[in-house]
Amino acid sequence: MPVISFANAKGGAGKTTAALLLATELAHQGFRVTVIDADPQRWISQWCEISGPVRNIDVVSEVTVASLQCHLRELAPRTDYFIIDLAGARDAIVTTAIGLSDHVMIPVQGSAMDAKGAAQILDLLSFLKDKANLDIAHSVVLTRVTSMVTTKALLTIKGLLAARGVNVLDTPIGERIAFKELFETGGTLHTLDPAKVSNLDKARENAGAFAKEVLGLMPVKITRSAASRLFGLGRNAA
């Protein structure tokens, strides 16, 4: 049960949107997803409240540093993927969640190229590697990209991050009405009405490609995820 967290110390980078897109796509593909809403603003919890039950998705709210490990341990047997949505901060819960993650996704707004918040998370990952011997896989995902700037932004940021050895996903998350709409109406891209939401097909395509690329980053055979290493749960998918 890999743990994928979404982190960027800067507010509004697109963490919650990207986390929800990944969660709903994985659930659509039949995986059992537990979203840990570790943001006191509770955006994903609110999405869950307006959505009602969504097949294959559980949302855990009111998470603390102390309770995070308990949630992972208790829900591991019925979870294929944990997705943790973090606040735009660099605090104890962000550090704890990152330390428990198999992969950290760092959303960065492609057009604004404001990567300072991302750099703080990269520094934290370096710190965990140097001081705690925790080498946590991580990737930057460009968000809110418009087709006009995709290539230029992607190339520029890839170049900047390559120097630090950071992977940037080939699939940026576009600026799309449908992604906003999920938080207004609840549900998933697969339950929204194409007659009411413009370019829903493109949004589905984009979210599907994003989820596919993230899945491709996971180990093919998951023998010991971060949670199992820490709690000795020993799920063996081999």
Ligand X SMILES: Nc1ncnc2c1ncn2[C@@H]1O[C@H](COP(=O)(O)OP(=O)(O)OP(=O)(O)O)[C@@H](O)[C@H]1O
Neighbours of 41 (CB within 10 A): 13
| Binding residues for Mg ion, total number by CB under 5 A | 2
User: What is the smallest separation between the CB atom of 48 and ligand X, expressed in angstroms?
Assistant: 15
Binding mask 4-33 for Mg ion (x = CB under 5 A): -----------xx-----------------
The sheet with strand 137-143 has its strands ordered as: 57-60, 33-38, 81-86, 3-6, 103-109, 137-143, 167-168
Shortest distance (Å) from residue 33 CB to ligand X = 17
* SS3 label, residue 36: strand
Residues that bind ligand X (CB under 6 A): 8, 11-17, 39, 43, 87-88, 143-144, 173-176, 179-180, 183
CB nearer ligand X, residue 76 or residue 207:
207
Residue whose CB is less far from ligand X, 14 or 227: 14
CA separation for the pair 174, 122 (Å, rounded): 23
Tabulate helix, strand, coil % of the chain (nearest 5): 45, 15, 40
User: Minimum distance from CB of 143 to ligand X (Å)?
Assistant: 5
Task: For the CB of residue 115, give the shortest distance to ligand X in the complex, in Å.
Answer: 13
Q: How many residues does the chain have?
A: 238
Query: Which parts of this chain interact with Mg ion (CB under 5 A)?
Result: 15-16
